[in-house]
A and B are shown apart, each in its own frame.
Chain A
Amino acid sequence: MAATATLYHAQLTGWERIKEFFNAKFINILALSLFLLLAVFLLFPIFAVLVKSFQGPEGFTLAHYENFFTHAYFFQSLYNTLLLGLINTIICVGVGFCFAYMTTRGPMALRKPLKIVAMIPLIAPPYLFALSLIILFGRVGLITKTFGVNWEIYGFDGVVIAQTLAFIPLAFLMLENNIKSLNPNLEESAYDMGATEGTIIRTITLPLLAPGLLKAALLVFVMTIAEFGNAAVLGGRVPFLAPDTYTMIVGEADFSMGSVLSVMLIMPCIMIFIAHNYLLKGKKFTTIEGKPIASEPRKMSPFVKVPFITVTFLFGFTIFICFAVVILAAFVNILGVRNEFVMRHIMDFRSNMAIWNSIRVSFIAALVGGIIGTLLSYVIVRGKFVGRNLIEMISLSGFALPGTVIGVGYLIAFASPPMKLTGGIMILALNCVFRFLAVGVEAGITKLHQINIEIEEASWDMGATFFTTFRRIVLPIMFPAFIAGFIYTFMTAMVSLSAIVFLVSPGYELAAVTIFDAAAYGKIGLASATTLKMIMVVILCMIVLNLLTKFTNLDIERKGGAA
């Protein structure tokens, strides 16, 4: 037997040697390729923006920054953006907490409905609220006209309101998760010792939630200052960094100033990313493990119940109205002016083409994103090379980076050969792939932590090569994570606007951009109809996700049972 083995080795052809090499080093080769992809499509564009902002006709210059800081307009823009972020953060986290508290500690009957209301905005693009606010409070808005209100939505207030409504779900989801992991016995102990509900919230719930609150606040802050649509549509004459960057680049083709604005936008994000890691280090309260106990509903004290119900109902109702008017506007000729039922907005050819383009782009992005996310999570968890943490950090950081900056970065980085991508469909898909990797990677990591590495080792033990093991064992197990990454990327790519608005070219109009343009030019019906169709696609997508998870789970269970 030994003789045959040696003989066999001696007779390896060149091709077989290469195969053997790949089998042995597969994971490292994979990691390196993935790292290169991240470097090219995530780090390089940002680096390009940075370089551009320091680049004058004769090399290095600080002139653009000087320009920025000496013009009151730009400074105002920065100030507005930060102020907007601050106000949004406070309101979103506050309201998000009210919702999260009610859905975890409130009366049973209210938990589910409130949760649904708080999550509804997730199925729509954030700029839906800009649209509905125009419908309600615009120059010919329903409320403005009906009640003769002399207040216009365009301006700082309008942006604040739209952004708040758009980012409540984010704060809510994070806080709900946090409250759910709080041991209800802690609050019950305080209750037992005579504390009233208000006191419990103040002395127990909120302090224990502090790390979660901080995390939610930082994330909301980063997301709101980077969000482009609401500020661009409702901002009016009030300057904000994200839309100003757009004006600089698309309107005036001033790439240097556009880059400076981008750097200004990304600075707070980086600082917050660092602060976040620093502040939350070791800030996790550990308690004695008990069995997880579902919190039983307790009678809420009126001093808590009344304000919390008021806040949640008020915001819930507003969110509901905003959706309702957009649906309405999609079927009305010109809402408030010519109130007749029409299908022309829904049937609009350009809008349908844009939706179709968006589906195509999102599908490509989702497919590529799902694959890369799955592979990334594999090398992060199973790899044994230095720099794993770095890869993990980079791939997770994508979604906290302002889309505007990525858009500008892609425009600068991929405008000329050898990597000319602008003007095509791939650039639209690729930026979505790398910005929205985080969910797929996280899902993959979680999945891999659940399965024992011994399953893979058993396969090797039985004589399978690494590659066979990967294909036959790892990939099937990772399939649910792939699906999660796929669907998430698809949904976010469908609605994403801030990066794409820089990268669309004639012939590849996307739904998000169509909505933005229509809303900006007051074509409310068209914008609403396109939004509605977009929401439908997203909902359809979620239904498919549900069915797929059910199906794959069943499948895995059945296979597991048969084995």
Chain B
Amino acid sequence: MGTNEQPTLILKDIHKSFGKNKVLNGISIEVNKGELVTFVGPSGCGKTTLLRIIGGFTEHDSGEVILDGRSIGHLPPNLRDTRICFQNYALFPHLTVGENLAYGLKVKKWDKKKIRERVDELLTLVQLEGFKDRMIDKMSGGQQQRVAFARALAFSPKVLLLDEPISNLDANLRVLMRDEIRRLQTELSITTVFVTHDQYEAMAISDKIVVLSDGYIQQVGSPIEIYDHPVNEFIASFVGYVNFLPAKIDSIIKETDAAVVSTEYGKLEIDIEQTEFAPGTEVLLVIRPETLKIAPSNGTVTTQNVVQGTLRRYIYSGALAKCHVVLGNDKEVIVDIQDPRDHVPLRENEKVDVTVSRNVHVLKKRA
């Protein structure tokens, strides 16, 4: 396989509205072979609609769906090499588990023996051996989810479409199934489009994340890129909590790729990779709570990159403690302390020093 292999699935400028409701406004994305790409966005942002367009259930208004170099926009679902797993599983309630798995194979007129073998294989794959003759409504939610997943894998589709496959499960099961799906997906190297409204799920499972909002793609990137280098405030606050700190670039230090910025609460020196920031630019510092350090204050600021504040609230939750610190008059920032039992004791309503790491993300402030 060459490195320049063409993407398995290409969406080109997909538009879709329902009446006046513009649901998708030009979605373009490439999914490479074996990759798991996640579309993540709030409920109602058009994720299901997008999957239904790829699967052939909903007609898009304009744009192109290309699978393996072939435009498939005109094909009905039964002639597309995609396989969809609906959010509600859509398992046939009048058939057994085995018959559900065999359905597509029967439709494709496989012979009986081959079907039986394949069904057994699939059951083993999702660890449901022995459930072949169960009726669907006698299976638990998690088991039904496995059956739905196995059914979609029955004859290795070119692209697997998963619509919030685990959102109907309870929290513990969700993590379990998420890892299971990821494991099978990598093992079998199935090109997958995964849809969820849960950012953490997206972070944990994806090769590539596509953040959708209002029918537009906000950002495409690996989980690390999305987390560490969000392109705007929406993305930044979409995954986890962030502290935004308005600042102004004072000077650029070329040799070390650093910049001195001034905030209302003091000057900071930070690393800057971007070259687009000239002195005088208004910026927004994106500071993750876990990158801040906190210590009781001795009254004077001596070290670099330290701002002073008052600890308002200290919330302990085992592995983590969240400190609500007020800077200046009313600017609240949150500082996370990992493993708080080893930390120097802090008291509410006392002065604290907050150390800002040099490694913060910088956004240009929008007018």
Q: Which residues of A approach B to under 8 Å, CB–CB?
A: 183, 185-186, 188-196, 199, 203-204, 207-208, 210, 285-290, 296, 298-299
Contact = CB atoms under 8 A, between A and B. Distances in A.
A186 B87 CA distance: 11
Contacts of A285: 93-94, 137
Contact of B57 (A196, A203, A296): A296
Contacts of A193: 78, 83, 103-104, 107, 151, 154
B314 interface: no
Contacts of A286: 93, 137
B216 interface: no
A207 B154 contact: no
Given A188-B57, A192-B55, A285-B93, 6 more contacts: A183-B90, A193-B151, A194-B79, A208-B92, A208-B94, A296-B58
Interface in B329-367: none
18 contacts: A186-B90, A188-B84, A188-B90, A191-B57, A192-B56, A192-B82, A192-B83, A192-B84, A193-B103, A194-B108, A195-B103, A195-B107, A199-B107, A203-B103, A285-B93, A287-B89, A287-B90, A299-B76
A274 B331 CA distance: 73
Contact of A194 (B92, B104, B144): B104
Contacts of A183: 88, 90
Contact of B88 (A185, A192, A195, A207): A185
Contacts of A192: 55-57, 77-78, 80, 82-84
A288 B107 contact: no
Contact of B92 (A186, A191, A196): A186
Contacts of A290: 86-88
Nearest to A204: B92
A196 B91 contact: no
B291 interface: no
B168 interface: yes
Nearest to B85: A189
Contacts of A299: 76
A285 B136 CA distance: 10
Contacts of A208: 92-94
B151 to A, nearest CB: 8
B141 interface: yes
Given A288-B141, A289-B88, A296-B57, A191 B93 contact: no
A318 to B, nearest CB: 33
Contacts of B168: 288
Contacts of B94: 207-208, 210, 285
A183 B91 CA distance: 10
A296 to B, nearest CB: 6
A189 B84 contact: yes
Contacts of B76: 191, 298-299
Contacts of A189: 84, 86, 90, 92, 151
B78 A196 contact: yes
Interface of B: 55-58, 76-80, 82-84, 86-94, 103-104, 107-108, 136-137, 141, 144, 151, 154, 168
Contacts of B151: 189, 193
B327 to A, nearest CB: 44
B112 to A, nearest CB: 16
Contact of A185 (B80, B86, B103): B86
A188 B93 contact: no
A188 B86 contact: yes
A188 B107 contact: no
Q: Which 5 A-B residue pairs are closest in the complex by CB-CB distance?
A: A290-B88, A193-B104, A185-B90, A285-B93, A189-B90
Q: Which of B58, B88, B151: most chain A Cβ within 10 A?
A: B88
A208 B79 CA distance: 24
Contacts of B57: 188, 191-192, 296, 298
A290 B141 CA distance: 13
A193 B104 CA distance: 5
A443 to B, nearest CB: 30
A287 B86 CA distance: 12
A287 B92 CA distance: 8
A287 B91 contact: yes
Contacts of A296: 57-58
Chain A CB count within 10 A is highest, among B82, B90, B94, B103, for B90
Contacts of B103: 190, 193, 195, 203
A227 to B, nearest CB: 33
Contacts of B87: 290
A181 to B, nearest CB: 13
Nearest to B105: A193
Contacts of A288: 88-89, 91, 141, 144, 168
Contacts of B136: 287
Given A285-B137, A288-B141, A288-B144, A195 B78 contact: yes
A78 to B, nearest CB: 36
Contacts of B79: 194
Contacts of A186: 90, 92-93
Contacts of B154: 193
